[in-house]
Structure 1
Amino acid sequence: MAELCNIQVTQVACGSHHSVALTKGGQVYTWGKNSSGQLGIGEVKATISSPQHLTSLSAVPLLQVTAGGEQSFALSRSGTVIGWGKNSSGQLGLGDRTDRHIPTLVHGLNMKKTTEISSGQDHTAILTKGGTVFTFGSGQYGQLGHNCYRDELHPRLVAELWGAKVIKIVCGRHHTLVLTDSKKVYSFGCGEQGQLGREWGRNQSVPLPVQLSHDTVADLKVRHICAGGNASFAMCTVDQKSSFLNGSFLDRRGDKHFNTSPKYSGLNLLLARRAFNKQSDKVLEKIESVVLHALLPSLDEAPLGVEGLRIFLLLTELLRVLQKRRTLRFCQSTELTEAVAAAMLRLPPDSLQNMNDMPAVICRFPFVMNLQCKIQLFDINANIAIAHHQMNPFGVVPMLPQTASDTHFELKLKRATLVEDTFEQLGKTDDVHFKKPLQVYLDEDTKITNVYMNDFFLHLFDELLLPKSGMFLYNDTKTLAWFPSKATLREKQYFLFGVLCGLALYNKNMIHLPFPMALFKKLVNVTPSLEDLIEFSPQEGKSLHYILEDYLDDDIESLDMYFSIVWDGAVVELDPQNPGKPVTSRNKKEFVDAYVNHAFNKSAGKLFEEFRKGFFKVCDADVVELFRPHELRDLLVGKENYDWEKLKKNTTYEGEYHASHPNILMFWEVFEELTEDEKKAFLLFLTGCDRVPILGMDQIRMTIRVLYNSTQQYFPEALTCHSILELPVYPTKETLQARLTEALMHNRGFLK
């Protein structure tokens, strides 16, 4: 349309055989049939194929244009209504039935504050700022809503809508729709073709509400309505309330849903999965969109009890089905998964304790969590388990006071026989007690302090991991341990060793665990690789790497190698069905894979499985498997990314000490002169561990205060549970250096 190609048009309205356009500049153009003056250009009966500018409206600031059958309207920003065209039924609201061939003011609507106009075949409706509706024109089908079927030549208030604030009106050919601020739709007029949204196909002369959906799961909220000819439309968003979804899949078999508790969700999740599986891909896409854009934003961040939380169990069933479908279609989208996991992580820890299954649900989506979230979830899960195992057999927290043995897992040990006592007491303990917080007592001292627990893990693992303990196989440099092919101790010892590692992680203690990455891979179900063998045994691992990557085919043939290796002092056939099988260029990868598999899987299979069983008697596998292998190692063993400047920067001071105090200045001078090993020893002295927590040095906040009632003869002391250094006031730097160095060399009073 050349006449409008360089003009920005903001609105277009169409009648039966004509069109009206409003430009950004507020100008009106019309074109089409002008049989009744609907183009507003005078008594021209011809059909006009090019847009005609209505100059009579040029100076009026217009808000809207609309068109009915053979009539047109314009609405000014001041609420003035202007009409032209056919008026045989009074649809222009001018008090007569005479057509108008030029724009004419509708005086009956002056001062009504009109905000919207809509026109049908031969009737018109207007909406005011206050939410009232006026109609006029043909009432043949009841489309005016006045409880009668006569025409109205003047605008008349639809009294039947009084009390409801209307926010939107639209006219079809012979019917009218209105939308209220409560999101209810009312219809009236011709209903012969179902356009009123009712089961009977009759005309209706008063506004009646439209039942948009009989779906008990979805609560539709109407955002917009429109009508065309003999059809009606409501554009909705679905507020997919969790109460509806919850109620749809209750486990009613034998009234099981009445047993809802933290241990039982009360849902039939198999029924939910089957329901989702039955849906077509198109329907699932709609469900996904509703959940993402309507349901999740509507959920409360602190849901009430199990019944408020279990919506997430249903959502994971939906995700399970969606992921399966997408795998089959080679299509991957994680938007909904990420949104569900994010919503779960926003739940307060106290809420998660109301439902045992919740942490396991979140564990299905580890890829959307950063390391800090994973650690937070591990701690939440541990707190839930602790709370559960501190309950009495009836599943409630006892009202009467409890002893330490009721609420904690106690180990009462002697320093001189630490390893023996530990294994003996662990072996006699029921597995359920491992989930309680650990409390360690040493040498019959009944004082409750975490210092003893720190000392316990520090010295116990030092002793267990010595080569002379006989528990493990070591590499050539004696720096890394692995499980032997044959146990020199009882298999249960390896189970209990796993329990100890689990207890350390569960109780947030880093330990000395010099194992290759293969250990942590196997704990999270990742297959060890040649890289792990290179770490454990560099010479053998690199030789295998050369065979794979560097040797020419002819060179491999000349090596005269066979599928026979020596591992843990014994000759092993990697292919027992073919003894003496040679290594060739064609099977070299098979040989390397078999070597790695024997080293980390076959040879250690039985003992590792005992270790694994013990470890997961304490820690939940679902939660541990959140972590990547290197994350699990760093969490359990710590890191070596020391940042001593950050330690100094994060240090705070108490009492008379401050950053510029002479004794503090001397301390930092002495500290900076320590060797790297001495600084690590200081970290051990201060915190009970010589490695850095997984989240970095920021997690270590040292406080320095004066050791009261001390003299220059006293050594510095540390409260490891709180990273507090108690530093006597020394007269000289040399004295401070001597006392600090000697304190670091001291074994903190732990007698071996």
Structure 2
Amino acid sequence: FSLCSNDDHYKTSTRFSGVDMNAARLLFHKLIQPEHTHISQQVAASLEKNLIPKLTSSLPDVEALRLYLTLPECPLMSDENNFTTLAIPFGAAILNLEKAPLKVLENWWSLLEPPLFLKIVELYKDVVVHLLKLCKMGLPPSDRRILTNFLHTAFRVLEILHRVCLGQVIQYDRFYIHEIQDLIDIRNDYANWFQQQVLGMVSCVGFYLHFGGVFLPCFCFIPLEKSMAVDQAHRQNLSSLFLPVFESVNPCLILMVRRDNIVGDAVEVLRKTKNVDYKKPLKVIFVGEEAVDAGGVRKEFFLLIMRELLDPKYGMFRYYEESRLIWFSDKTFEDSDLFHLIGVVCGLAIYNFTIVDLHFPLALYKKLLNKKPSLDDLKELMPDVGRGLQQLLDYPEDDIEEAFCLNFTITVENFGTTEIKELVPKGADIPVVKQNRQDFVDAYVDYIFNRSVASLYSAFHEGFHKVCGGKVLQLFQPSELQAMVIGNTNYDWKELEKNTEYKGEYWADHPTIKIFWEVFHELPLEKKKQFLLFLTGSDRIPILGMKCLKLVIQPTGGGEDYLPVAHTCFNLLDLPKYTDKETLKSKLIQAIDHYEGFSLV
């Protein structure tokens, strides 16, 4: 499998394997053919009895690690009949590697093409599912213990692969093993894990939750926390029947606000709310209105309050034109209560599976999880500045002081004037040179994301953690937490059509509906995203996917001269009964292009 066309295969190093992975895959597939079962059996027996058992923790040369890279390409490894005889022993050999060779293997994995890396991940995900299915078959305790050890091996291999993937080889959600939810009692395992984490009851460790932050979508645990809060309220109410000293407890968090004072009322109500109540299902009541909150009123509340809080009149956030993202403004005159409120609102949005249109960079979610923002985060928020700092780090010559003319200060705009801020004490007197340029970049990143907005972020952090704080939050990845707040971009447009409901005389095969979907599927991606923004208030989808995005289309009078109308809070589209494709396309695009906000029923 070496790169034999040149001498590269002689240059194997910690960063270069010298292996042609495509050639390895092709050779294995030529060798293992369904019509030649005797060859497959011989290869499997040789791997099981001769090769894998002889793999040792230390290797004579780095080239010996090539076997660990190529063997997963063998189709026999992916055959569930060989999971316990090949895949698990091979995984155990990986775990048995000493620190140095394991680090080399991780480096090689990190440089694989995404499909090749994903193949290894999928292999051990399949192993986990297979073993869990076996565990449900009512096996004797001795066999269950063996399978549990096998599961532990598979999970640990996946943990290593996930650690490698922190460099974004593949998307974090490709590690999810959705079948786990159907194969184990997540609620019971969560309770055991919670006892171990909070109460220190080591004997009650939730085995699957130990690995849950990687292989289970973390949003699976939020309904469990909500359920626990509701159960606690019901238990307290039951106790009050026999012990009248207890007050009746509402199993929901009730938020009663006036439309014309939505921010002030929300601040007042949430200030009085007990921490335990934040984890209950949210019900919103607009004063003077009779609407029952079946989800639409709650979504309307989030849309209205976020639009109000992000209004430039408050000056709470700075908008970065190049990235179209926002960050805390260190020049706001607002007190910390409003930043605390936004933190609470973000937390409530997560707990109630409601997307809010809040364009923070990933750095915010890193900070919420106590992870340090990096230069990459600054590049996301301020691309020009980020590129400039990267150029400083990459500059090959020694004359940095003369070429860049920098010192440890930063120039910031303040209401039309510029202001010099020192990044370190006496920073104006410290020139940036080759020896301290990394310190300068680190100080720059720290100033933007931490020092300049410390008190404002602290209020936001406190509000967010009032709702979402706790052990479960530790299971999240920053990008996963971000997706919980603002949704993701894993679009499946056919799934959207499949889940759409119709009212009145419309149905799936109505002529207008049929041409509507013809037009929609022909739209370019950006127009489809604009349609989502037009109809739902966000161009992103819930973290649970398109299956949880329910659109409703209903007919409306007025004729074909009228435009479609979106009722954002209910994902409801008023669609005139257009009779030809061109008219429908023209009117739909016109409505999308002229969208500036959301209309409310």
Q: TM-score band (shorter)?
A: 0.5 to 0.7
Q: Cα distance 1:399–1:699, how it changes in 2: closer, same or farther (>3 A)?
A: farther
Which of 465, 485, 502 is 2:310 aligned to?
465
Q: Secondary structure, in 3 states, of the residue corresponding to 1:526? A: coil
Q: Indicate conservation of the 8 Å contact 1:687/1:721, yes or no.
A: yes
Q: Secondary structure, in 3 states, of the residue corresponding to 1:470? A: coil
The normalised TM-score by structure 2 is 0.59
* Distance apart, 1:599 and its partner CA: 1.5
Which of 437, 440, 455 is 2:284 aligned to?
440
Q: Are 2:349 and 1:504 equivalent residues in the alignment? A: yes
Partner of 1:412 in structure 2?
Answer: 256
Distance 2:197 2:514 in 1: 48
Q: Indicate conservation of the 8 Å contact 2:192/2:206, yes or no.
A: no
Between stretches 658-667 and 621-630, larger displacement belongs to 658-667
One-letter amino acid of the counterpart of residue 366, structure 2? K
* Distance apart, 1:617 and its partner CA: 0.6
Q: Secondary structure, in 3 states, of the residue corresponding to 2:411? A: strand
Q: Indicate conservation of the 8 Å contact 2:564/2:588, yes or no.
A: yes
Partner of 1:297 in structure 2?
Answer: 144
Deviations 1:657-688 (A, max 9, x none): 55443122222244346675654354245545
What percentage of aligned pairs have identical amino acids? 36
Q: Indicate conservation of the 8 Å contact 2:400/2:433, yes or no.
A: no
Trace 1:95-110 onto structure 2 (pairs within 5 A). none
Q: Cα distance 1:636–1:726, how it changes in 2: closer, same or farther (>3 A)?
A: same
Q: Cα distance 1:729–1:593, how it changes in 2: closer, same or farther (>3 A)?
A: same
Trace 1:16-415 onto structure 2 (pairs within 5 A). 294=141, 297=144, 346-349=184-187, 352=190, 357=195, 369-370=213-214, 372-389=216-233, 391-392=235-236, 406-415=250-259
Q: Cα distance 1:362–1:495, how it changes in 2: closer, same or farther (>3 A)?
A: farther
* Distance apart, 1:741 and its partner CA: 6.4
In structure 2, runs of 5+ residues without a counterpart are 1-139, 160-175, 199-204
One-letter amino acid of the counterpart of residue 561, structure 1? L
Q: Secondary structure, in 3 states, of the residue corresponding to 2:284? A: strand
Partner of 1:153 in structure 2?
Answer: none
Which of 325, 335, 349 is 1:490 aligned to?
335
Deviations 1:593-618 (A, max 9, x none): 11111211222222212211110111
Distance 2:342 2:225 in 1: 22
Q: Indicate conservation of the 8 Å contact 2:567/2:600, yes or no.
A: no
Deviations 1:135-166 (A, max 9, x none): xxxxxxxxxxxxxxxxxxxxxxxxxxxxxxxx
Deviations 1:280-308 (A, max 9, x none): xxxxxxxxxxxxx9589379x9xxxxxxx
Distance 2:600 2:394 in 1: 51
Distance 2:533 2:403 in 1: 53
Deviations 1:532-554 (A, max 9, x none): 11111112211111111124212
Q: How many residues align?
A: 422
Q: Indicate conservation of the 8 Å contact 2:567/2:573, yes or no.
A: yes
Partner of 1:590 in structure 2?
Answer: 439
Q: Are 2:389 and 1:539 equivalent residues in the alignment? A: no
One-letter amino acid of the counterpart of residue 414, structure 1? R
Partner of 2:373 in structure 1?
Answer: 528
Q: Are 2:359 and 1:514 equivalent residues in the alignment? A: yes
Deviations 1:466-505 (A, max 9, x none): 3332112333548222223355211222222211111111
Q: Secondary structure, in 3 states, of the residue corresponding to 1:571? A: strand
* Distance apart, 1:699 and its partner CA: 3.6
Deviations 1:194-234 (A, max 9, x none): xxxxxxxxxxxxxxxxxxxxxxxxxxxxxxxxxxxxxxxxx
Which of 376, 391, 398 is 1:553 aligned to?
398
Distance 2:504 2:319 in 1: 49
Which of 650, 668, 685 is 2:517 aligned to?
668
Distance 1:542 1:354 in 2: 47
More strand by share: 1
Q: Secondary structure, in 3 states, of the residue corresponding to 1:553? A: coil
One-letter amino acid of the counterpart of residue 385, structure 2? E
Distance 2:591 2:475 in 1: 40
One-letter amino acid of the counterpart of residue 516, structure 2? F
Distance 1:344 1:650 in 2: 22
Distance 1:624 1:399 in 2: 35
Q: Indicate conservation of the 8 Å contact 2:341/2:463, yes or no.
A: yes
Partner of 1:216 in structure 2?
Answer: none
Partner of 1:600 in structure 2?
Answer: 449
Q: Cα distance 1:494–1:670, how it changes in 2: closer, same or farther (>3 A)?
A: same
* Distance apart, 1:723 and its partner CA: 5.6
Q: Are 2:424 and 1:580 equivalent residues in the alignment? A: no
Q: Cα distance 1:742–1:294, how it changes in 2: closer, same or farther (>3 A)?
A: same
Between stretches 507-516 and 738-747, larger displacement belongs to 738-747
Partner of 2:483 in structure 1?
Answer: 634
Trace 1:6-21 onto structure 2 (pairs within 5 A). none
Greater relative contact order structure (CA < 8 Å, 6+ sep): 2
Provide the alpha-carbon RMSD of the alignment.
Answer: 4.6
Partner of 1:696 in structure 2?
Answer: 545
Distance 1:343 1:707 in 2: 39
Q: Cα distance 1:295–1:629, how it changes in 2: closer, same or farther (>3 A)?
A: farther
Q: Cα distance 1:555–1:643, how it changes in 2: closer, same or farther (>3 A)?
A: same
Q: Cα distance 1:737–1:404, how it changes in 2: closer, same or farther (>3 A)?
A: farther
One-letter amino acid of the counterpart of residue 217, structure 2? C
Distance 1:441 1:743 in 2: 30
Q: Cα distance 1:678–1:492, how it changes in 2: closer, same or farther (>3 A)?
A: same
Distance 1:476 1:742 in 2: 25
Which of 422, 427, 432 is 2:271 aligned to?
427
One-letter amino acid of the counterpart of residue 504, structure 1? A
More helix by share: 2
* Distance apart, 1:729 and its partner CA: 4.3
Q: Secondary structure, in 3 states, of the residue corresponding to 1:693? A: coil
Q: Cα distance 1:597–1:417, how it changes in 2: closer, same or farther (>3 A)?
A: same
Distance 1:387 1:584 in 2: 61
Distance 1:595 1:663 in 2: 56
One-letter amino acid of the counterpart of residue 617, structure 1? K
Q: Indicate conservation of the 8 Å contact 1:415/1:750, yes or no.
A: no
Distance 2:471 2:319 in 1: 30
In structure 1, runs of 5+ residues without a counterpart are 1-292, 302-315, 324-337
Q: Indicate conservation of the 8 Å contact 2:488/2:542, yes or no.
A: yes
Distance 1:369 1:562 in 2: 42
Distance 1:362 1:355 in 2: 4
Which of 632, 636, 644 is 2:493 aligned to?
644
Distance 2:243 2:565 in 1: 40
* Distance apart, 1:451 and its partner CA: 0.9
* Distance apart, 1:392 and its partner CA: 2.6
- Rg larger for: 1
Trace 1:733-752 onto structure 2 (pairs within 5 A). 733=581, 745=595, 749-750=599-600
* Distance apart, 1:702 and its partner CA: 4.3
* Distance apart, 1:351 and its partner CA: 7.3
Distance 1:597 1:691 in 2: 30
The normalised TM-score by structure 1 is 0.48
Distance 2:533 2:303 in 1: 10
Q: Secondary structure, in 3 states, of the residue corresponding to 1:467? A: coil
Q: Secondary structure, in 3 states, of the residue corresponding to 1:533? A: helix
Q: Cα distance 1:544–1:348, how it changes in 2: closer, same or farther (>3 A)?
A: closer
Distance 1:679 1:595 in 2: 38
